Amino acid sequence: MLMLSSCSSSSVVFPSQSANMAASQQPTDSTASIPDYEYPDVNTKPFHIGSFREQWLRRLSPNDYSFEEEDKDTFDANFAAEMGVDAETMAQLKSVCSVESLRCYPEDQKLDPDVVPPDSTLKTLIQRKKKQDHKASLKMPKNRHDLYADELERLTVGRTPEESDDMIPEGEVILSINIYYPSIFEKFYYIRPHVTLLMTGSHKLTELRDAICCVSDLQVCGEFSRTPDMAPDFISKDHFKSAFFFFEGVFYNDMRFPECQDISTTTIEWAKSRNFPTYSQAKMEDVCFKDLTVKVGFPYLYCHQGDCEHLIIITDVRLAHKSDCLDKKLYPLLTHKHRIVTQKCAVCHVFIARWYTTNDQFAPCDPCLFCDKCFRMLHYDADGNKLGEFLAYPYVDRGAFN
């Protein structure tokens, strides 16, 4: 596997361009697309993703990134040639190092790999036994989130498509992208990614934008205290469709719909008035990831709904290999989703909140969260008439994405 990861140190330093390149430009120096680290173990210097791929493909043989399984005899011959051993030594190595030589029970006996022998002397098995016993003492069943995560991994790792047209091409670039929660708190002690997605170099930025789940896109605008049964005409994502990504001095605006606006203009004009570097603009729907110039491990920006800002960090850029999910229809591929504690009703403390109220004489606090049942029992009579004065707004819990 060939990769460039933000969490690994750089022991070999290659020359790199010092200036940032525009997204559509190709680097003139042939080595400029192989990045070195600007800050050790933090982020790289800027490099062009498409040229990064081309440089690796020129340096590697087709067998290095092929999805085809190598013939066993061919593998043995190549291994013997690389190690400088003869056929007799190779046969002896295969016999001594085979999996069968590690068997500690009869071949016809089937054992459960999750069951650790109680009298084992291996340190790893002793530690595993301690963890199993501790987990069993807690008497906590495996929750549905863990089961779902295991199912996702089982369904995607090494999966190949039924149709050959849906196969990811050999030598394609795969990017690991972390999308973080927006920083909306005054004191934000820690930060973790909301989701981690795998994208290919051929994906457009709009496909990443559509794959990002944010609770602000699901909000319903308006006050519904007098008409709680009235279905909203739209959610925020349907009405406020403008958004942009910011990568290396370029604002990539989503302009796919007539109602989209260039919301980066205000920032660009503000930067000009304060002698900041010149920023440029491009359409999100016209740019693929292979066209970008980025830093691995560097925080970039995704902004939508006017002021909802998310950090975007590309943590890995590598060539695809046969162990990846090769069905391009499954991309953008979700590999991690952070679980969120749901907000319960302030009255029953059982159901998830559906409403929040302000200036509410029936509420224990202001603002206050209510489930739908408690909200209607406290604020309306048997005929559905409003009791007292209060303002009610639909509430979308972040745990909806669990």
pLDDT of the chain, 402 residues: tens digit per residue = 445 544 433 333 333 333 333 333 444 444 455 556 566 667 888 999 999 999 999 998 887 888 877 777 777 887 888 888 888 888 888 888 887 777 767 777 777 777 887 777 888 888 988 888 887 777 666 565 555 655 555 677 777 877 778 888 999 999 999 998 887 665 555 577 888 899 999 999 999 999 998 888 888 888 888 888 886 777 888 888 899 999 999 999 999 999 898 999 988 999 888 888 889 999 999 999 999 999 999 999 999 988 889 999 999 999 998 888 888 888 999 888 877 788 899 999 989 999 989 998 888 888 899 999 999 999 998 888 888 889 999 888 887 777
Here the tokens at position 75 are: 């593998």
CA distance 67 to 321: 6
**The predicted structure's pLDDT at residue 358:** 92
Burial of 46 (0-12, 13-18, 19+ CB in 10 A): buried
Spatial distance between the Cα atoms of 352 and 206, rounded to a whole number of angstroms: 32
Residue 362's pLDDT is what? 86
Percentages (nearest 5) of helix, strand, coil residues in the chain? 30, 20, 50
| pLDDT in the model for residue 1 | 42
* Residue 342: per-residue pLDDT: 85
| Residues 355 and 383: beta-carbon distance below 8 Å | no
In degrees to the nearest 10, what's the CA dihedral of 91, 95, 96, 97?
90
Beta bridge partners of 327: 167
End-to-end Cα spacing for the chain: 32
Supply the DSSP string of 144-162, one letter for each residue. Answer: HHHHHHHHHHHHHTT---S
pLDDT at 13: 32
**Beta strand residue intervals within 250-384, DSSP E:** 250-253, 280-283, 293-294, 299-304, 308-319, 333-337, 355-358, 368-370
Q: Which of 207, 179, 394 is nearest to 302 (CA)?
A: 179
Q: Which two tokens stand for residue 221?
A: 């605008």
